[in-house]
Amino acid sequence: MIPATIPVDPLTMRRTMGRFATGVAVVTTRSPDGTPHGMTVNSLTSVSLEPPLLLVCLTTGARSTHAVTAAGRFAVNILSSRQEHLALRFARRGEDHFAGLDVTHGRHRVPVIPDAFAHLECDVERHFTAGDHVVVVGHVGDVCERDGEPLGFLRGRFSDVLDRGHAPAPWIS
Ligand SMILES: Cc1cc2nc3c(=O)[nH]c(=O)nc-3n(C[C@H](O)[C@H](O)[C@H](O)COP(=O)(O)O)c2cc1C
């Protein structure tokens, strides 16, 4: 039997979009007064290769959202399968996310998680409000890739990402 369609509400929206498996990243920045900020995201999307653009959707109320738009720059730290604790740390509201955490610094002293699966340093290309989130488009400058496996997120839970070892897709050369 074909399942019936149902009208969407916020919980249904979250649950249904949760079937779109993603990685997990931490957006980090330093506000103009020098305070480091960071928040866990899974809304990361590649936008363009030339120029290199990505986007993240940041909730309008969060301290990190204001810090990113005020600073005009940020880093995206893609978490490894061993960094679930960092995903949880940077998702707790109202905490000092950096207390006792070892970070290095990228361009303009933006904090960077040193052993992330990868990180990308960005300047804010543009940002605009869409519903209850701010869409931030970043122009990517420097990147760093490290060994390991990515942390996944599916149906509201952290997950492993299975590499089946298939040949790369034909457009990846
Ligand atoms: C796996 C995961 C993914 C998340 N993705 C997003 C996201 O894409 N955008 C967002 O605004 N919040 C997202 N959140 C929630 C934020 O991490 C959380 O609200 C954050 O603590 C707010 O930061 P603040 O302390 O600066 O207010 C996510 C949380 C988790 C655990």
**pLDDT tens digits along 81-124:** 999 999 999 999 877 899 999 999 998 899 999 999 999 999 99
Pick from 28, 35, 41 the residue to mutate for probing ligand 1's pocket: most ligand atoms within 8 Å of its CB.
41
Query: Which residue CA neighbors atom 16 of ligand 1 most closely?
Result: 91
- Calculate how far, in angstroms, residue 15's C-alpha sits from the geometric centre of ligand 1: 16
pLDDT at 135: 98
pLDDT at 25: 98
- What rounded mean pLDDT belongs to the chain? 95
The Cβ-side half-sphere exposure at 163, using a 13 Å CA radius, reads: 8
- Calculate how far, in angstroms, residue 91's C-alpha sits from the geometric centre of ligand 1: 5
Pocket of ligand 1 (CB under 6 A): 24, 37, 39-43, 57-59, 62-64, 87, 90-94, 133, 153
CA distances from 155 to 14, 78, 79, 88, 93 (A): 9, 19, 18, 16, 21
Pick from 29, 40, 134 the residue to mutate for probing ligand 1's pocket: most ligand atoms within 8 Å of its CB.
40
Residue 47 pLDDT > 90: yes
Query: Which residue CA neighbors atom 15 of ligand 1 most closely?
Result: 91
Which has the higher per-residue pLDDT, 132 or 3?
132
Which atom from ligand 1 is nearest to the alpha carbon of 41? 5
Which atom from ligand 1 is nearest to the alpha carbon of 87? 31
**What CATH architecture is 20-160?**
Roll (2.30)
Residue 3 pLDDT > 90: no
- With cut-offs at 50, 70 and 90, classify the pLDDT of residue 169: confident
pLDDT at 173: 67
Q: Where are the domains of the chain?
A: 20-160
